[in-house]
Amino acid sequence: MKIALDWDGTFTRDPNLWYHFMGMCKAMGHDIRIVTLRTPAMAIDWGNELLPAYRIPVIYTSNVQKREYCDSIDWHPDIWIDDSPEFIVRRDFHTFLDVFGAVKEEI
What structural domains does the chain harbor?
2-100 (3.40.50)
Please report the pLDDT score of residue 89 as a whole number.
84
Please report the pLDDT score of residue 44 as a whole number.
75
Helix ranges (H only) for the chain are 15-27, 51-54, 66-72, 91-100
Specify the DSSP class assigned to residue 102: P
Please report the pLDDT score of residue 96 as a whole number.
47
Contacts of 52 by beta carbon, 8 Å cutoff, 6+ apart: 46
Please report the pLDDT score of residue 51 as a whole number.
59
Q: Is the pTM of this model over 0.75?
A: yes
Stretches where the chain sits below pLDDT 50 are 96, 100
CA angle at 83 for the pair 105 and 107, rounded to the nearest 5°: 10
